[in-house]
Structure 1
Amino acid sequence: MEHPFPLVDPRLAGYLLEPLAGGWSGETFLATPDDAAGTGGANQVVVRYFAGARHAEHAARIQAALLARVRDVLPVPAVLQAHDGDATLPGLLITELVPGERGDLVLARLTAGGAEPGSPAGALGTIGCALGRIAGALATVPMPRTGMFADVTLRIEPFDVSLPDWVDTHAPRLVETGWSDGEIGALRTVAERAARELDGAPACLVHSDLNPKNVLVDPATFEVTGVLDWEFAHAGHPATDLGNLLRFDREPAYVEGVLDGYVTAAGTAGAARGEDADPREPTRRRATELARAADLVALVDLAVRPAANPVVVRAREHLRAIARTGDVHAHPDPRR
C-alpha cells in the first residue's frame, strides 16, 4: 500500500515512528528517539503529517498558530516544530506528548460499568463536566466573522452555511445511500427550523471535532489534560462544539455533566471580563436545542461519506432518525 507520508523523513532523523490509535487518517505517530531504548519513553513526541489535497496549504502552521492562540485558555500540547509541505515532503507538526488517556476509552469503560473511582454515574457526570467546560471556554473566544482560517495569521476567509442549502447540496449523495425524496424533504424542514434557531449568534472559535476521541483525560480525576486535533477548527456558531459532545453519548449523567460544565464556563469567562450576566444566556434546555441544531451541519457531512468507519454509520442512523421524527433530539435508540 502506498503511504501518504514519507517512510524516510530528514526532519525526523533519529526517531522511530509508531502509528497512534484513535484517528481515521493514519497520519499521527508517536516518535521515539532510536537511542531511547530502556529510558521509559523519555523524549517522545507526537508527529502529525498533513498529506493529501484535503489539507490546506499551510495546515501544519495554521494548527500551530491555533494551539498558541488557545494555550492560555485550554490544555493543549506545546508545539515543538511546524513545517509547511513542499514538492517532496508533506506538512509536519511536532508537539509534546501530553499525559492522559483518550476520553472515548474512559467513557466506554464507564458506560460498560467498568471499575472507576466513585459510582459510574458520578464519574460520567465528572468527565462530562470537564468536557463541557472545554466547549464553554471555546464559545467565549470571540471571532470577527464566521469562516475558515486561511493562513498562519489566522486570517478568516468568510463563509456562510445555510442549513437548508447544505441539505440540498448533499441531497444527491443521501439519495445514493438510500434516502427517499420524502426523507430528504423532511430533513430540509428540520434544517429550516434549525436555521431560524441558530440565526444571529456571534461567531466564536470552534474546534469542530470536539468529541471524547480527541480529548485526553486523567483517568483518575477525569480532568482534561489535552485537547487534540484542530484540523477542522474554524470561526463559527458557539453551540457547534457542544453539539459534537452531545451527538452520540446520551447517558443522562454524562449529558447533565456536559451542560453543567458548558454553562458554568461561559458564565465564568464573562464574569472574568467584567461583563454582567447576559439575560439571553441560554438555559440548559436552550443550550441543548441550539447544540442539536448546530450539529446538523456535521451530521449531514458525515452521513454522505463512504461508510468506512463507525462514525459515518452512526451519523447516518442519527440523521435518519431526525428526518423520520422531525426532531433534532431524535436518537436511533428510542430509549435515549
Structure 2
Amino acid sequence: MDDETPLAGLVPLEGGWSGETFLAEVAGERTVVRIYARPSERGAAAHEVDAALHRLVRGLLPVPEVVEVRRADTATGLPALLVTSFLPGTRADLVLPGLRAAERERLGAALGGLLADLGGMPMLRTGPFVDGDLSIGTFEVAGHRVDGLPGLVELAEPSLGWWTPAELDGLRAVAVRAQAGLDTVTRHCLVHSDFNPKNLLVDPETLAITGLVDWEFAHAGNPFTDLGNLLRFERDDAFTRAVLTSYVARRGGEETEVLGLARAADLWALVDLATRRGQNPVADQADALLRAIARSGDVHALS
C-alpha cells in the first residue's frame, strides 16, 4: 500500500464493533487496513500502540505482520492507518456452532494453550499502554484512579440506575470477595482484553488457530483476565474443561481455583459493560450476567 492508495477502494471486514477495519487488495496481495478515525482511550498514539503490540508478539502468537504504520495527516484530514498482512481462517464464532462435541473440546484445548502463551508474557506492573514504546500508564475511570473492584463498583453505581438496592449490595459484597482472591495473584502479563471467538481465526478443517486479532483494548494486567473473557458466556462444560485443562497444564494451578480467579478478573469488564446496557448486545448480556452474580453472590452464576 502506497501513498496513492484510495481509501474508497477498501471493503469493510465483518465482525467487531468499531467499523474501522477494512480489506484492501493491491496487485493481487490482500492486506488489512485499520483506520483510526474515532477517538480512542489511547489517544493519538493508538495506531502506534497496536503496531508495537503486533511486533512484540509476532512469532509467538498468531498475529499478522505489520506492513505499514501511517500517522494522521492534519493537512489533508486523513486519519492514522495501520496496515497488516491478511490472515487466513474463519472467525471462531462462526465455526463453533457447527462443531461436534469432540471438535469443540479439541478447539478448547488449543485455545487454552494460546491463553497460556499469552499469560506467560510478563509485565512489571499493570496499566494501559500509552505510546509506541509500550510505556505503561495508570488506569482511570472518568478521571479517577481505580482502587480495585470495590472502587470500580463505587464509581459505576451512578450508571446502574435500573439495579435494585439489593442487587447493588450484592455486587459490593461480591467485589470485596473477588478482589481478595485477585490480590493473591502477584504476577502481571500482557492481556489482549477482548479474547473471544469473534477475534479469533480458525482453520475450519483442522481447527488450528490462525489468528488473534483486534488488540485495541490490550494492556498490562492480570494473567486470568483473558481466560475469564473467553469463558464469560460459555455454557458448555466440556469445552470449558478442555480450555482449563490445557491452560493449567502449561501455567500450573488447580482448575477450580483458576476458573474462580478468571471469573473474578472478568468482573472488571462485566461492570464496565453493564454501565453501557442498551448500546450493544454484549453489554446487555453482561448486565444480565452481572445482576445474576450480584443476586446470588456467586461469580459462577448463570444469567
Shared fold, TM over 0.5: yes
Contact 2:89 2:204 in 1 (8 A): yes
Q: Distance in 1 between matches of 2:17 and 2:272?
A: 16
Segments of 4+ in structure 1 off by > 6 A? none
Partner SS, residue 292 of structure 2? helix
Q: How does 1:205-216 map to 2 (within 5 A)?
A: 205-216=190-201
8 Å CA contact 1:60, 1:92 repeated in 2:
yes
Deviations 1:134-187 (A, max 9, x none): 211111111010011111111111345510110111111111xx1012211110
Q: Residue 326 of structure 1 aligns with which residue?
A: 297
**Structure 2 gap segments, 5+ residues each:** 140-145
Task: For 1:246-325, list aligned pairs within 5 A.
Answer: 246-266=231-251, 281-325=252-296
**Which AA in structure 2 matches 1:219?**
P
SS in 2 for 1:135: helix
Q: Which amino acid aligns with 2:239?
A: Y
The amino acid across from 1:137 in the alignment is D
The partner residue of 1:182 within 150, 166, 174 is 166
Please tell me whether residue 195 in structure 1 is matched to residue 179 in structure 2: yes
User: SS of 1:150's equivalent?
Assistant: coil
Partner of 2:118: 138
Q: In the aligned structure 1, how far is the partner of 2:70 from the partner of 2:114?
A: 28
| Count of aligned residue pairs for this structure pair | 292
- Give yes or no for contact 1:240–1:291 (8 Å, CA) kept in 2: yes
Q: Which segment is superposed worse, 54-63 or 292-301? A: 54-63
CA 1:167 to 1:45, structure 2 compared with 1: closer, same or farther past 3 Å? same
Given that 2:277 and 2:284 are in contact with CA atoms closer than 8 Å, whether structure 1 keeps it comes out as: no
- Pairing partner for 2:222 from 212, 237, 257: 237
**Letter of the 1:108 counterpart:** P
Secondary structure (helix, strand or coil) at the match of 1:189 reads helix
Within a 5 Å distance, the mapping from 1:21-40 to structure 2 comes to 21-33=14-26
The whole-number CA distance in structure 1 between the counterparts of 2:97 and 2:290 is 23
* 1:305 CA displacement: 1.1
CA gap of 1:194–1:121, structure 2 versus 1, over 3 A, is same
Compute the displacement of 1:86 (Å).
3.8
Code of the residue aligned with 2:274 in structure 1: it is A
Taking only the aligned residue pairs, the percentage that are identical comes to 50
CA distance in 2, matches of 1:77, 1:19: 18
Partner-residue secondary structure (3-state), 2:116: helix
- Counterpart secondary structure, 1:238: coil
State whether residues 92 and 198 of structure 2, in contact with CA within 8 Å, keep that contact through their aligned partners in structure 1.
yes
Distance 1:325 1:204, change over 3 A: same
The answer to whether residue 99 in structure 2 is matched with residue 103 in structure 1 is no
